[in-house]
Every structure is written in structure tokens, then in C-alpha cells.
A and B are shown apart, each in its own frame.
Chain A
């Protein structure tokens, strides 16, 4: 990604769009890099917490990318991981407190997983791989792309699990009365199986992702 920021590019020009778009498919944090799996299994029983989690992670990645990118020339390399961790924890605590104050129900459902965003490899991964060596604006776009790339998978899994596991969507009954909820769908194992299916579909459509023999 070193070609970025060499010359002036219009706002949301092709470079920005590329940063936002690639994490959706070719560099998706969950289904290609296989990061952030733990939270993807834990918060996708229902659609609503999945959406709140997706938004929270997106906000945290974007903000931490920008902050680290602004500080990148002042951070001593020897303590850079700790500095990144402090910034990420700082943002996660803000998100947690704001959710508790204004989106109380979702915050209850997410419980410990908001705090665990700190340990989400996607966040630290983007800081190390991108924000430490790029300017704030591209970093913001990179954070947005990766956050949404993570979020879209969470939402797809949450959608399928809530629909078949509880017969509802966003807590509104969708399935007919006689539908017996599939208990397997609410177990974390099913999230992993769904994730595997998504990876399978994704790889069969993008042959260049396959390992060469």
C-alpha cells in the first residue's frame, strides 16, 4: 500500500475507494485474514447486537487509526505496541460508556464483548500494518473499510442465525407461528460452520485467493 499519498488525490477518489473496498472482499479481515473470529461467534446470535458490535468496532478502528497515524512520527518504536494498546483501550472504554448511557439494551447484550474489542486482532493489525506508516486521511479510510468489512460478515451471520435460531429478525417475528426454532443455530458452533460456508463461497468466486499447489 506504499503507493498511497504520493500525489494529491480527490476526496473519495479512486485511492480512497480502493482502501474502503478491498477489505470487503479480497482483504476481508474475517473471511480472508481470519481475524476477529471470537467476537464473530459470540455476538451474532441476534441481529441487533451484531449491528451494534459492527458499528462499535468500525468506530474504534477508524478513530484509533487516525490517532495513531497523527502520532506516528512521535511514537518511539520501542514502546509502540503499548502506545497502540493505550489508545485502543481508551477508545473502547469511551464506546462502552456511551453505549451504557444511550443504547442500554444493546450494551447489556454485548456485555463483555465490547471490552474485548481491545483484543480484537483486526484493530491492532490495522494500526501496525497501516496507520503507523500512512497519513491520517488514508488511515481513516482504511479503518472504515476494515470495520465495515468485519461488520458485513457479522451482520450476515447474525441475520441467518436469528432468522433460523429464533424465528425473528431484530426481535420481530418473521417465521410463521408453527416454526420450531433450530437450537443448533444459537450455538457458537453454528456460527463457525456458517463462517466456513461464507469462506467457501467467497473463495470459489475468487480463484486468485486459492493457494497455488
Chain B
């Protein structure tokens, strides 16, 4: 076996790492637009899906522009911070779609008061107005998130869609994979009289209870996570919904 001097070894490793790092950096910059396009299209696709409009990801953007007539961000007092509609920024400085929902919910949990979260207004083909809000919480293994679409009475759920980071495949992952689970939320109501009760995910609910849906068997903790997520997140929007109702 050949003998290599220490000097050779040092130079060799430095050069190798520099080459590798340069190529990777160039690649990351080059591929970034494609990756972000995928993520953006998926978000748009999921927003539309929660309002009951199913589109393929490659046409998500044009359909999004067609159906989502306005985006707002609201704070905990129900005041509108930013508005984006008709293709341009109407109020505030940040497009609501670009708001980092994950970090906003995180600071909300940490007790911050300057939190703002997006609301999307969707106008469907049949003239219905749907309000879509993003929700985010924790499941068993990692984050769970989704969108809740409310009918114009701001009480009845029109549709929901959930996604997750790493719930157990075949059990907890059913919140995304099993269409019947998302479907069971449709037409549930979150108010009992004037009181906010949310829509809970519980065992043995059946189809009659207007404020709860059946939990997934074998995925109790994921179900609990979804239940808590919906309650916590919708709570934030209540002041805004109240101003809308007036």
C-alpha cells in the first residue's frame, strides 16, 4: 500500500470537500424554483380541496386564482392586517398566502400577541362563499396540519383536508389517506347555540352528533391531536368571525 504524507491527506480532504460543497450549492440554487413551485402548488391544491374543488397539482395555480377571490390575515382581535385580492396587495405588506403558518401558530402557543393568520375566501361555481382557514397541531409522531372550510354562516363545516408529517402509515396516516374520515366532518357545526364547542374527534360518536366525528381506530393519539388542533386553531379566528357576522 502506498504511503501518503500528512500534507497530502490535508490537501486531499480540503479539495474534496470544497468541490463537493460547490457542486451541491449550485445544485440547490438551481433546483430551488422547481421545489418551491411544487410546495406552493400543493398548498393551493389543498386549499381548494378543502372547499370541495378537486384539481390536479399542475393546474392548481390557475384554479386557485379563479376560485380564491381574497386572502386576508387577521389578528387575535379579529382585525384585518393584510389583504390580497384581484392579483395585488390591497392592505398591509405581506401576501397572506406567504405567511408562515407554522411559525405563527408556534408563537401563538408561546403566548405571543402579535400573531396573524390567514383566511381565504373562496367563491364556488354555485355561488357559495366559503371561508378557509389553515389549522396546525401535533399528532402522535410529528406535526399534523390541514385546512378547514366553513360555509358562509361561519358555523357549518363545508369540508376539511388534513396532512401529516410522520403519522403511522395505515393508522394515523388515515387522516390524510382515508377520504371517509375527512368526509365525516362535512356539515358538522362548531357552535351550540351561541357557544363555541368545536368539532371533536371522539370514540363511538356515530353520525348523529353535530359537533363530533368518529375517531380512527388504532390511532387514538392522532385523533386526539386532530381534535385539539381544530379546537385551538378555530378559537383564534372566532373574533374575526364575529366581526364578519355583524
Per-residue A-contact encoding for B14-49, CB less than 8 Å = 1, 0 else? 001100100110011001001100100010000000
Query: How many angstroms from the CA of A13 to the CA of B165 in the assembled complex?
Result: 47
Closest to B57 in A: A104
| Residue-wise interface mask of A (61-77) relative to B, using a CB-CB cutoff of 8 A (1 in contact, 0 not) | 00000000000011111
Complex contacts, B4 vs chain A, CB 8 Å: 76-78
Q: Of the listed stretches B5-13, B84-92, B222-230, name the one at the interface; the rest are far from the partner chain.
A: B5-13
How far does the alpha carbon of A115 sit from the alpha carbon of B218 in the complex, in Å? 29
Q: How far is the CA of A184 from the CA of B152 in the complex (A)?
A: 43
Q: Report the interface size for chain B: residues with CB under 8 A from the other chain.
A: 26
B169 touches A86 (CB 8 A): no
Stretch in contact with the other chain, from A89-97, A146-154, A202-210: A89-97
A32 interface hit (Cβ, 8 Å):
no
Q: Are A183 and B170 closer than 8 Å at their CB atoms? A: yes
- Chain A residue contacts of B113, Cβ below 8 A: none
Taking the nearest CB of chain A, how far is it from the CB of B141, in angstroms?
11
Tell me whether chain A's interface is mostly helix, strand or loop, or mixed. helix
Cβ-based interface call for B209 (8 A)? no
Q: How far is the CA of A165 from the CA of B171 in the complex (A)?
A: 11
In-complex Cβ contact of B166 among A93, A111, A166 (8 A): A111
- The 4 lowest CB-CB distance pairs between A and B, nearest first, are A186-B170, A101-B34, A76-B4, A104-B38
Query: Which residues of B are at the interface with A, using a C-beta cutoff of 8 A?
Result: 1-2, 4, 8-9, 12-13, 16-17, 20, 23-24, 27-28, 31, 34-35, 38, 42, 57, 165-166, 169-171, 218
